[in-house]
Amino acid sequence: AKAKPVAAAPLKPVAAPVPNSKTFSELEDEISSLKNHISKMESERSEIFENSRRRQKDFENYKSRTERERSETFVNQISNLAMQMLPVLDNMNRALDFAVHVPDDVTNEFRQFFDGIILVNQQLNEVLGEMGVSPISSVGETFNPHLHEAVAIEETENFPPQTISAELLRGYRVGEKVIRASMVKVAAPVKAKSVSVIKTESDDDIFQLETE
């Protein structure tokens, strides 16, 4: 059988382009309006970013202030507790200083008593150390009015001037906070003595006076 020819579909006419009804001036106005809108959005974005940054900074400052206040409160509480314990520690130190001068022929019971005081003193110092309480160095150190309280001046050649020669009462601090200053003696240079020779009418009588 012969194939029947297929009729081609009729071609649709192409629509003519619709001319733009907007004028050039209207297009410029629209572009200008879009630019203004974009500029406004950028300004709002910058403002949002600045507000966010300011709030973040305020939060960090608040966090730092809270941590600082918490730390100061903790240090104050530790300082108050340590101040109540220091008199006990002072008495133990005096007992230990006395035990050093006890003769060797003391009874065994008396020696065991001082050994017990030494043990309690060590434990008390360990507790204070765990709390952050540390003694202030004094003997041999340069006098510091923020750490030491001078109660006497000692003329000596064993220490340089303005150096602490003796500690009368030990001081303590918590971190950088001084809860009790050390009471100390401060070394001063020994004043030179001048010798004055006094002669009488008779050269045989000569007196020497030592004056500072």
pLDDT digits (tens, 9 = 90+) for 66-123: 888 888 888 888 888 888 888 888 888 888 877 766 666 666 667 777 788 888 888 8
Q: Got the DSSP string for 113-156?
A: HHHHHHHHHHHHHHHHHHTTEEEPP-TTSBP-TTTEEEEEEEE-
Contact between 187 and 148 (Cβ < 8 Å): no
CB atoms within 10 A of CB 149: 14
pLDDT band at 212; cut points 50, 70, 90: low
CA pair distance 179, 15, nearest whole angstrom: 97
pLDDT higher than 60, residue 209: no
Per-residue model confidence (pLDDT) at position 28: 81
Reference 170, options 179, 181, 178; nearest CA is 181
pLDDT higher than 90, residue 148: yes
Task: Specify the pTM.
Answer: 0.59
For residue 26, give the 3-state DSSP assignment: helix
CA dihedral sign of residues 134, 178, 181, 88: negative
CA pair distance 141, 138, nearest whole angstrom: 5
pLDDT band at 143; cut points 50, 70, 90: very high
pLDDT band at 151; cut points 50, 70, 90: very high
Mean pLDDT of the chain: 79
- List the end-to-end C-alpha distance of the chain, in Å, as a whole number: 153
DSSP 3-state helix, strand, coil percentages of the chain (rounded to 5)?
45, 20, 30
Tokens of 54: 């300011």
Q: In what order do the strands lie in the sheet with 177-180?
A: 133-135, 172-174, 177-180
Per DSSP, what are the bridge partners of residue 135? 172
CA pair distance 32, 11, nearest whole angstrom: 44
Digit-coded pLDDT (tens) for 6-54? 555 555 555 555 455 567 787 888 888 888 888 888 888 888 888 888 8
Place of tokens 């030990």: 170
DSSP single-letter state for residue 142: B
Residue predicted with more confidence, 81 or 200: 81
